[in-house]
Structure 1
Amino acid sequence: MPAISSERPNWYLLQCKPRQDERAHLNLLQQNYVVFHPQILTERVIRGKRQRLRESLFPGYLFIQISRHDNWAPLRSTRGVSRIVEFNHGPAIVAEHIIEHLRSRCFEASTTKPDEALKPGENLQIVSGPLAPLEGVFLGLHGTDRVMILLQFLNREQPVCLPLSVIERQQASFQTYN
């Protein structure tokens, strides 16, 4: 574990109280701390609609950048913060390259556009798994993270239940007719 540098701030790991990540993040920002809360976009079906939600990559934890000479006392009483994570009787330092890697990965994940809700009869394509190149028609939702599609397979139409993550809308292709 690297020694704590007195000249420049290091990144440390904070544990938050249960389900209070966002509260801790906001309270630390109000106290002018540099905080990183890695989040990703996940797809869920809520009230019958496919939606993308922002969720914590590490639920219950935040990263904070602070130097050894800064005032650490307010961290203990910040609402939402439980404790500073320690290893070997000292605060756990997180390397700068790890934070940069997490930042770049979280940014890449947030640049994708949210999808509209799927409609019955919409053409879909399976993009991964054993049925990957096949195309089908959306029938409906099956639970919160699965869909029913109708495939033309083995000379007949087969309803198939698949995870929401393996399907995409079929790209429109323009055909010219003579």
Structure 2
Amino acid sequence: MNELDSDVWYVIRTKPKQEERAALNLENQGFEVFAPKLTVKKIRRGVRTSVVEPMFPNYLFVKLDDIIEQFYKIRSTYGVAGVLRFGNNIPKIPQQWVDEMKGVDELTDEQAPKVGDSVEIQQGPFRGFLAKIVQLDGESRCFVMLEWMQKEVKANFSYKELQFK
């Protein structure tokens, strides 16, 4: 790679759920930090809500001039668990990759099911039956209405058991 040392980013491991704390503390020390986030649609108590989450949980990127000189300063920052390394090798992330990631404003999870979606049941005794989602039940389950023995039956399934049409 023909990259200048000033155009190199490093991966920082954070303590669990402390990405924002680590990023703020690193920025307060004068480091340039990149902590990409994405918006995910989640179902909480049967209601679909948008939640902003880290794109890479427990990781963020920091631009450093000299990793050897700043290693201990980074490692002792509140919220930081350490610098990502493989043995004695500390991987470098090129500026171009970070620029491309910054160009992505927000990614959204459009795969979340909605009430009214048609599904095919993939497992169990109702395998192959077509159904329609009538109610969301948490983040991983939903109620569907299917026709069984000439009657409409409401059943609860995991999203893993369904194929969305």
Provide TM-score, normalisation by structure 2.
0.67
How far 1:75 moved relative to its partner? Answer: 1.6
Measure how far apart 1:158 and its partner are. Answer: 3.6
Matched, 1:31 2:23: no
Q: What's 1:148 paired with?
A: 143
- Pair 1:154–1:107, CA change in 2 (3 A): farther
**What amino acid is the match of 1:20?**
Q
Note the residue ranges of structure 1 that are not aligned, 5 or more in a row: 113-117, 169-178
CA distance in structure 2 between the partners assigned to 1:31 and 1:25 by the alignment: 10
Alignment of 1:64-143 (within 5 A): 64-68=62-66, 72=70, 73-87=72-86, 89-105=88-104, 107-109=106-108, 124-126=116-118, 136=132, 138-141=134-137, 143=138
Residues 42 and 52 in structure 1, CA contact (< 8 A), matched pair in contact too? yes
Cα distance in 2 for residues equivalent to 1:151 and 1:104: 44
Letter in 2 for 1:98: W
Query: Structure 2 vs 1, CA of residues 15 and 159 (structure 1 numbering), >3 Å: closer, same or farther?
Result: same
* Superimposed CA distance per residue, residues 121-175 of structure 1 (whole angstroms, 9 cap, x where no aligned partner): xx512378879xx67352452x43211022457854243435299769xxxxxxx
**Are 1:18 and 2:13 an aligned pair?**
no
The alignment's TM-score, normalised by the length of structure 1, stands at: 0.63
Query: CA-atom RMSD, angstroms?
Result: 4.0
Mapped to 2, the partners of 1:85 and 1:4 lie a distance apart of: 19
Quick one: structure 1 residues 139 and 16, their matched pair in 2 at CA, closer, same or farther if it must change by over 3 Å? closer
Q: 1:38 to 1:58 in 2, by over 3 A?
A: same
Match of 1:174 in 2: none
1:137 and 1:151 in contact (8 A); partners too: no
Which deviations, in whole Å up to 9, do the C-alpha atoms of 1:13-59 show, x marking residues without a partner?
11112332121011112223211112222333334433222222222
Q: Report how many residues are paired.
A: 156
User: How far apart are residue 87 of structure 1 and its match?
Assistant: 3.7
Q: Residues 164-175 of structure 1: matches in 2 within 5 Å?
A: none
Identify unmatched segments of 5+ residues in structure 2. Answer: none
Change (3 A) 1:54 1:157: same
Which amino acid letter does the alignment assign opposite residue 108 of structure 1? Answer: L
